Amino acid sequence: MILSVFGLQTTPGKRKQLSKSYQFSHSTQGFTLVEMLVAMALLSLLMLGLAGALRTLAQTEERVDARIALADDLRTATQFLDTLLGQVSARRKAGLPREGESRLHFLGQSQAMAWLGTMPPRHGLGGSTLFRLALEDIDGDGALVLRFAPFTGGPEFPNWGATDFRVLVHGVTALSLHYEDPYQPQPQWVTQWTRPDQLPERLRIDLQTHSGAWPLWITPLRASTEGQRSRFSMGPSE
């Protein structure tokens, strides 16, 4: 024994006591530096994985919220416009129109449509109203805007910039309006309505937003008080 070399004599009982003392001292030293580093590395990996999972969950929640908001906007806008376009007036303008001008209170262009209709009482004052549907800049972002003004009996549309309006859809990046011409041998979609004495059969609205393309929106135009719900298609109808 080492103790014997230095002239120290130990009995078997003392050796056993010294061995137990060494074992106890070793067991109370705790984790070594290597063990601590391994534990910290594993904890770091666990935290990174948890952070990634939380980030993915947040992104998924944002996408779901965006889809819900888009569905709400779609439902609100279509229901409101269906009501208005179900009551388009075919009333002729007073007096003689200029050459090439429509005899009806109707204007159909690729990015704007104006018409004479009826405002439901629950959405405004009610009665005969002039409307315009168009893409406008609202607070620096595109929007599908419906403007309206009371009909006074004159042949001209009002100064739309001075009228009341309602934003139907926010975040619009592109708008294209098409009008179904049923007076052709085969009904066709046109982007400019040029018939002075007739109204289109249906309106098709192609809408792009920051969230993506809306479902193709097709709604009938009716010169009556009976509205008809719009129909959605997965592709252009020709």
Over the stretch 189-215, which tens digit does the pLDDT of each residue have?
Answer: 999 999 988 999 999 999 998 888 888
What's the whole-number average pLDDT of the chain? 78
* Residue 40, pLDDT score: 84
- Kindly give, in sequence order, each residue whose CB lies less than 8 Å from that of residue 155, ignoring residues fewer than 6 positions away: 93, 94, 95, 97, 105
Condensed to tens digits (0 to 9), the pLDDT of residues 27-43 reads: 445 668 777 888 888 88
**For range 80-98, the mean pLDDT:** 83
> How many C-beta atoms surround the C-beta of residue 58 within 10 A?
10
> Phi/psi zone of residue 171: left (φ > 0), alpha (ψ -120 to 50 degrees), beta?
left
Sorted by where each begins, the domain ranges of the chain are: 67-233
Residue, of 140 and 18, whose pLDDT is higher: 140
CA distances for 33 relative to 24, 27, 46, angstroms: 20, 15, 20
| pLDDT of 55 above 90 | no
106 — pLDDT class (breaks 50, 70, 90): very high
pTM above 0.85, yes or no: no
